[in-house]
Amino acid sequence: MNTESLRNEVLVPAVAKTLDIAAKAKPTKEELFTTAKITAAVAVATAVVSLAVQAVLRNR
């Protein structure tokens, strides 16, 4: 499976379904803060892994 098909067949439908569920939900303020914290942590982890991979590839 290449990147394009992964995006079109897996990621886009998953995001669409998540947004649909979120639109129907009535989250509390605490749930929103928890979601924001998790999202921020995932973003930071993604950035760190990306930088680590770039460093490894540069030093090959």
> What are the pLDDT digits (tens) for 10-55?
778 888 888 888 788 888 889 889 989 999 999 999 999 999 999 9
Task: Tell me the two tokens of residue 60.
Answer: 């090959």
Res 5 pLDDT > 80: no
> What per-residue confidence (pLDDT) applies to 48?
94
**Residue 31, domain extent:** 3-58
| Contact criterion met (CB below 8 Å) for 46 and 54 | no
Tally the domains of the chain.
1
Using CA atoms, how far apart are residues 32 and 36, in angstroms rounded to an integer? Answer: 6
11 vs 3, residue with greater confidence: 11
